[in-house]
Structure 1
Amino acid sequence: MGKQSQYGLQIMSWEGAIMAVPAHDSRDQEFALKYDIPILPVVKQDDESCSEGTVINSSNVTTGLDINGLSCKEAASKVIEWAEKTGNGKKKVNYKLRDWLFARQRYWGEPIPVIFLDGTSESVSLNETELPLTLPELDDFTPTGTGEPPLSKAKSWVETTDPSSGKPAIRETSTMPQWAGSSWYYLRFMDPKNSNELVDKAKERYWGPVDVYVGGAEHAVLHLLYSRFWHKVLYDIGVVSTKEPFKCVINQGLILGEVQYTACKDADGNYVSADSTEMSGEYHRESIPEEKVIKSGDSFVLKDDPNIRLIARAHKMSKSRGNVVNPDDVVSEYGADSLRLYEMFMGPFRDFKTWNTSGIEGVHRFLGRTWRLIVGSPLPDATFNNGSVVTDEKPTLEQLRSLHKCIAKVTEEIEGTRFNTGISAMMEFINAAYKWDKHPRTIIEPFILLLSPYAPHMAEELWFRIGHSNSLAYESFPKANPDYLKDTTIVLPIQINGKTRGTIQVEEGCSEEEAFRLASLDEKLSKFLDGKSIKKRIYVPGKILNVILDRKNVEAGAR
């Protein structure tokens, strides 16, 4: 039996129910449009995926269930509560764990250390003394065509004897999947040359568990699931000392291809705004090049007709879409450091990020400005005396503060995997450094070390240019001095004849003479003081400086 509800189509059968939601599912909508089934939205969407939104048109007088106005998550909880209370259902958590098919019918992979007694199906595991079992050399790895794995071609390897009974036996010709090796490789890194055991217990206790494990979206389920499974088995049999393999797991966001712009056209070939085609109507799409697009508010529109809103979307890089960026081309034009720096500058490490080739130019310019600040104008002789503008002068308090604030920020952002904001802090430092007359070695050297994890090739060259012969890789990472992180400057109001004319930044405990000197250098205040005869100064440290001009100056100014 079947019936149509006000929300969609329900098909009832002995097997259960099929639900259709044409207002929020493209396939259901296509079906509903074809058969003229009314479409009524049940969620006021906050985003395209409908994962967030407010439930509407969802009340039932007969059952007394009303979920209007609730979020999707709240509505689901209330429906479950209603189903349990009325006896119509109960809450259940489904785990999609399945048996693991461990055998692979291919040559590449770890051979399974199992033999079968000749003429029987009885399997026997090899003794530890016969391990490791290695693959035989094969010239032909292609499928056999009989359903047997490629290893079956190695007759002399397959045919063996049972070490215990001496009876003829054959080896298992399937191999283990790639997970067999990749699930525990981090343990082998702790003791890679140990030929007696997987890992030495003392070394495993020293190095394990892994402090930070970084992986992509592909690692988020399968690899991490298998690694934890494998590790827990090893823990149960006493091979490892910890129940968990990793202290911290970070999944970096996927880098999407460049934004692609699409315009919609109606049946007559006229452009229509994308927001008018979301529910129904015949239309087709047309790709629009970036140079014909401008941004208007939160949307992208046609440059020639700003009333036409476009669909702007970035897709995962793939050959089929033609949006793959070849890193070799980027390195050839901008250099490896610029590519590396841009990838970290694109956004938060864990977030999805959209590639934009023009964005590389910004970080490339930053590296260029850094080079020119330290090395100076390009010179043919890349020696210390001829290739650096760094001096051995004592740094000023301003320079020390600028450096140590940069060190503190970069260190904090590295620990929080917020590399983009760490790069921003270095950009701010370079902007400040360009205003200095001198660039002391004690300021520039720590900055180069800060830059080295982000742009290692250029930092290494800069390290050489300022007079070092050994690699900076052996240097300690800079540490911020708390004494220079304190903001000891204050804003001091400046009055001329009792009227406030501006403010200046001074150090706490600044003397009257220093305060007056800074006021005289200020562009806005100097026009009131230059060439004027001063009768007296009234200075309240940390509060105010009032400069009283001679009356003759005031009268002359009035005339």
Structure 2
Amino acid sequence: MKYDFAAVEKKWQDIWEKENTFAASNDYTKPKFYALVEFPYPSGQGLHVGHPRSYTALDILARKRRMEGYNVLYPMGWDAFGLPTENYAIKNHIHPEIVTKNNVANFKHQLKSLGLSFDWTREINTTDPDYYKWTQWIFLQLFKHGLAYKKEMSVNWCTSCKCVLANEEVVGGVCERCGGEVVHKVKNQWMLGITKYAQRLIDDLDTVDYIDRVKTSQINWIGRSTGAEIDFDTTAGDTLTVFSTRPDTLYGATYMVIAPEHPYIEKWADRITNMEALRAYQAEAARKSDFERSEMAADKEKTGVCIEGVRGINPVTGGEIPIFISDYVLMTYGTGAIMAVPGHDDRDWAFAKKFGLPIIEVVAGGNVEEAAFTDCNTGIMVNSGMLDGLTVEEAKKKITEWLSENGKGREKVNYKLRDWVFSRQRYWGEPIPIIHCPHCGMVPVPESELPLRLPEVDSYEPTDTGESPLAAMTDWVNTTCPVCGAPAKRETDTMPQWAGSSWYFLRYCDPHNDKELASKEALDYWMPVDWYNGGMEHTTLHLLYSRFWHKFLYDIGVVSTPEPYQKRTSHGMILGENGEKMSKSRGNVVNPDDIVKEYGADTLRTYEMFIGDFEKSATWNTSAIKGCKRFLDRIWNLMDIAVEGDAYSEKLESSFHKTVKKVSEDIEAMKFNTAIAAMMSLLNEIYDAGSITHEELRTLLKLANPFAPHVTEEIWSVMNFGGQISGQSWPTYDPAKCVDSMVEIAVQLAGKIKARIMVPADITAADAIAAAKADPAMAPLLEGKTIIKEIYVPVKLVNIVAKG
């Protein structure tokens, strides 16, 4: 009979939902497995076929673990605050709450149609006040421990979204979300002190199982470097402190550069004689993102203005050197000031050449006039006074000691990572639970009054002044101080979208708890997440932020593990049929609803896993999906050739054991494509044999079930095998029966292959050597020769050494 995938898939999805088949148990005595995928942002565009790749992969692992006897938590929820929803709401005059509700409903329908074994009883939504109550609670703990604070600083301002962006949200010099121009503004912002955790965020990567590229991404973003802080006196009487990883090159420092936003410019205003030129340059720099100004843009022509009226003093030479402002120095990195050593740095050399500044060689070798530097990490110091003749490493140690002894500097570890800009001047986000009192300062909203809900409003458009729309809602803003009772005002900035996603994995452990973010019993049982999969694009944003929040919660005793995720993997993108990233603007988005309607969810799931190496990008090919449909149809048709029997047939026994081994191992290695290929190969052998026993069919259905759960459950039901596959045990294999009965071995003469022969896998050395000598290709070569040595390497080769 023909397989009616539409009817069968709806049937089993209804059964699973009615019976809560995949709900995790609260029996904390069982072995547990917590599988996690990044919860989606429910956009109005819905899913495209790239999304199910990650969900299906972890679904396969979750289904396998259930069959292995684990209590599995595989949850799903919605990361639903954020700018895209708010921008859509403004454009279409629909409240963001309604937009979110509609988008979530669509996403949920799409996910359920794929037969993913999520525990929907634990569904969460970051915009639910019962959820963001605990986001606010965590913020208050950060505030009470000095890790949430306000600071006047230069920030990235999206001119389109009209809000502040974290450095990580500026990609390629523009807003990550809308592509709008990003400029710099000085604003009073909420910050989170992630830099206090910088070293731990690096060190603890040694304790977790993350793929190398994820670890590298984290380490590079944190950017640890060891060097020294060096104090340069100035002719204005102030000290300019710089950080350098190469204090040994101090004698070669011929000028200094400070960021255009450096506060000393204002301090020195009455001394500087070219303030007009500096102001013009500052305005120009404000229109550039940190990305454009950073070392990533090192190839661009260097620009700057020399400060006339103030000069620096090199602490080892005592000589005066010019101070420039230039946009390639950032206030957000180090001290906002650098010493420039053009004799041994390409960027400094180019700047010095442009402005006619001295270039001094301080590490012997190369040609500094042509920027042909020697390896300045291994050379000998020259033109460096007390350091002459020393190696670089010896010089680093000596100059650092000298600086410390003479009050001119100190050893220092620095990080590229900056504290997290946590303010957003928008409506659709968690209200920051702080009250500003003219007498008491910043006061936390009492925890008993959480959640602090977003007010119901008619207008939530951003303002041109840079203030949050909440600032205009006076009835909500005006309040009383919980400490002294005086009139006070609420904080009007909201949290960024990253807030809710920085701890959501904890809420899944106990999502309906109204007394705490999750019970200690639940957190101790479920955490850490055993296997977390997500996109590489989130390994510097979400992953870093969530690890920071988790470590803080560990420090205050809320969670019992220092890391949230024991294992982290990442998948490659599924590209459009034109080989480009799927996007609405490119017109290459493939809607999974269309594929499910035409081919069925099981076919889509199988194709998503068969499309290629899971960690690499793959191009969608709609015509290729038909091969996976044929594979599932052939499994369905096995019912026509199934015969009674509770054992493997002699002809297929070895093949079944090998396939169980292969599929089991490949799932764990995320080699889903080769696991499917192994089942396809076994299927060919079954059809060649002309029949399949009930035991063989049961095993094949169990192996295929995580990939194609609907069709396999239906066959299991039609065959009256009892219960559901999800409640069965995962197949096992006998290693001895995975060994081929016959193997091919090489026959060598003096180390060179002359023939290949088939022999029994358990053949003795004597019999193998005899078979090799008797081979028609070898016998003539040995005729008349004296055999000196005979070697047999089991199941690999025979090597004969002869002379004469």
Does the pair score TM above 0.5?
yes
Q: 1:166 to 1:360 in 2, by over 3 A?
A: same
Residues 1:196 and 2:449 are matched in the alignment: no
Q: What SS class does the counterpart of residue 213 from structure 1 fall into? A: strand
- Inter-partner Cα distance in structure 2 for 1:464 and 1:79: 72
- Whole-Å separation in 2 of the counterparts to 1:76 and 1:322: 49
Offset at residue 423 of structure 1 (A): 0.9
Structure 1 residue 352: Cα displacement: 2.1
- 2:597 is matched with 332
Contact 2:364/2:379, CA 8 A, preserved across alignment: no
Partner of residue 515, structure 1:
none
CA distance in 2, matches of 1:336, 1:401: 32
Shift of 1:223: 0.6
Identity of aligned residues (%): 48
Determine helix, strand or coil for the equivalent of 2:680. Answer: helix
Distance 2:529 2:724 in 1: 28
| Worse-superposed segment, 157-166 or 167-176 | 157-166
2: CA distance, partners of 1:445 / 1:181: 43
Whole-Å Cα distance in 1 between the matches of residues 499 and 470 of structure 2?
Answer: 18
Question: What does residue 398 of structure 1 align with?
Answer: 651
Contact 1:390/1:466 (8 A) holds in 2: no
- Partner Cα distance (1:331, 1:341) in 2: 12
Aligned counterpart for 2:691 among listed residues 407, 424, 438: 438
In structure 2, what is the Cα distance between the partners aligned to 1:122 and 1:369?
Answer: 72
- Shift in Å, 1:133: 2.3
- Superposed counterparts of 1:506-521, under 5 Å: none
Equivalent in the alignment of 1:279: none
User: Which residue is 2:635 aligned to?
Assistant: 370
1:398 partner SS: coil
Separation in 1 of the partners of 2:539 and 2:380?
Answer: 34
Within 1, Cα distance between the matches of 2:608 and 2:759? Answer: 38
Q: Quick check: 1:315 aligned with 2:580?
A: yes
Listed as ranges, the matches of 1:139-288 within 5 Å are 139-143=458-462, 147-259=466-578
Query: Which amino acid in 1 is paired with 2:430?
Result: E
Alignment RMSD (CA, Å): 3.8
Per-residue CA distance 1:83-117 (angstroms, 9 max, x = gap): 97887999999843223221112222222111112
Cα deviation for residue 157 of structure 1 reads 2.9
SS in structure 2 opposite 1:324?
coil
Q: Which residue of 2 aligns with 1:20?
A: none
* Cα distance in 2, alignment partners of residues 443 and 77 from structure 1: 68
Contact 2:424/2:493, CA 8 A, preserved across alignment: yes
Per the TM alignment, residue 191 of structure 1 is displaced from its structure 2 partner at its CA by 1.5
Question: Secondary structure, in 3 states, of the residue corresponding to 1:435?
Answer: helix
| Contact 2:364–2:380 (8 Å) recurs in 1 | no
Q: 1:113 aligns with which of 433, 437, 442?
A: 433
Task: Name the SS for the 1:214 alignment partner.
Answer: strand
Distance 1:322 1:206, change over 3 A: same
Aligned to 1:451: 704
Instruction: Give the conservation status (yes or no) of the 8 Å contact 2:612–2:673.
Output: yes
Match of 2:665 in 1: 412
Matched with 1:485 is 738
Q: State the match for 1:346 in structure 2.
A: 611
Q: State the number of aligned residues.
A: 375
Change (3 A) 1:78 1:315: farther
Secondary structure of the residue aligned to 1:169 is strand
In structure 1, C-alpha distance between the alignment counterparts of 2:377 and 2:760, rounded to whole Å: 65
Q: What pairs with 1:53-92 in structure 2 (closer than 5 Å)?
A: 64-65=365-366, 78=375, 80-82=377-379
1:264-311: per-residue Cα shift (whole Å, max 9, x none)? xxxxxxxxxxxxxxxxxxxxxxxxxxxxxxxxxxxxxxxxxxxxxxxx
What amino acid maps onto 1:131 in structure 2?
L
Name the CA shift for 1:238/1:76 in 2 (closer, same or farther; >3 Å).
farther
State yes or no: 1:104 paired with 2:424: yes
Q: SS state of the match for residue 652, structure 2? A: helix
1 or 2 for the larger relative contact order (CA 8 Å, sep ≥6)?
2
State the AA in 1 paired with 2:695: T
Please tell me the residue identity of whatever aligns with 1:403: F
* TM-score (normalizing by structure 2): 0.42
Q: For 1:305-332, what per-residue CA distance to the aligned partner results, in whole angstroms no more than 9, with x for missing partners?
A: xxxxxxxxx3322334333333333333
Structure 1 Cα separation of the partners of residues 710 and 544 of structure 2: 37
Partner AA of 2:644 in structure 1? T
CA contact (8 A) 2:365 2:379 kept: no
Aligned to 1:122: 441
Residue 357 of structure 1 pairs with residue 622 of structure 2? yes
Match of 1:421? 674
Pair 79,364 (structure 1): closer, same or farther in 2 beyond 3 Å: farther
1 or 2, which has the higher helix percentage?
2
Work out the CA distance in 2 between the residues paired with 1:130 and 1:214: 36
User: Deviations along 1:334-393, whole A, 9 cap, x unmatched?
Assistant: 222222212211222212222233322222222222222x233xxxxxxxxxxx745346
C-alpha distance 77-437 of structure 1, shift in aligned 2 (>3 A): farther
Residues 14 and 163 of structure 1: CA distance in aligned 2, closer, same or farther (over 3 Å): closer
Write the distance in 1 (CA, Å) between the matches of 2:639 and 2:694: 12
Distance change in 2, residues 1:212/1:194 (3 Å): same
Q: Which residue of 2 aligns with 1:133?
A: 452
Q: CA deviation at 1:220?
A: 1.4
Amino acid at match of 2:599: Y
Structure 2 CA distance for partners of 1:194 and 1:434, relative to 1, 3 Å: same
Normalised to the residue count of structure 1, the TM-score between the two structures is: 0.59
- Cα shift at 1:438: 2.6
